[in-house]
Amino acid sequence: MLEDKQNDWDWRQINAFAAQNGALLGIYGFLSLVIYAVGLRYSQVSMLGLLLVLSSPFVAAFLCIRFRETITERNASFSFGKGYVHCLLMGIYAGILIAMCLYIWFAFLDNGAFADAFLCAVSQPQSQLFLQEMQQQGGLVNLYELTGATTPQQLADAFRILPASVWASSVLSLTFFVDPVISIFIGLFTMRRGMEV
């Protein structure tokens, strides 16, 4: 009976830390997206925004390691399951927070700013070559088919009329698709076997 209570307490603790770390990861993720969107208009910032977005799994791993070090003794074991569940929940909480922020942004604050930044980005000479390569490789086909657009201008117009709920739900869909896979790697990375003292 005592063992069941201990396990129950552990999972509640994992969930509580996952909610806190998920809030931190969500704020980091949303700010990364904002900087990435600013980088569409200002090329000096574009690489920083991309690096911040791509570094999110490393931030998640850091937060999971910090969680492990907080709840375990220095040489105590930390199971794959605890790391996996913590990371999975943390990613879900972060995804929900990012989706909420994007919904608020596109519903009340954007007023076409993202579409304008997209048009600014695709009108730059270095972007033209990139867009041509993407079209040749079929990278834009799905986006064009989904929106019915045939040019970047029409795609930007489609972005303007896209409901905020679509932006938010796309983040949630991506979260539920990618988070379980990333959590496996982070769970394996944070796993630790106990050492004899």
Average pLDDT of adjacent 10-residue blocks, the chain of 197 residues? 44 91 96 87 80 94 95 86 94 97 92 82 70 63 68 80 89 94 95 69
Helices and strands (H, E) in the chain, number of each type = 9, 0
pTM recorded for the entire structure: 0.83
pLDDT of residue 61: 96
pLDDT of residue 136: 65
pLDDT of residue 161: 83
Three-state secondary structure of 97-143:
HHHHHHHHHHHHHCCCHHHHHHHHHHHCHHHHHHHHHHHHCCCCHHH
Separation between Cα atoms, residue 145 and residue 179, nearest integer Å: 27
Sign of the CA dihedral with 108 first, then 163, 149, and 137 last? positive
Token readout for 58 is 């490393």
pLDDT of residue 2: 36
pLDDT of residue 123: 75
Are 168 and 95 in contact, with CB atoms under 8 Å apart? no
Are 152 and 118 in contact, with CB atoms under 8 Å apart? yes
Q: At what angle do helices 56-71 and 80-104 cross, to 10 degrees?
A: 130
> Nearest to residue 22, comparing CAs of 140, 151, 157, 183?
183
pLDDT of residue 72: 86
pLDDT of residue 171: 92
pLDDT of residue 197: 44
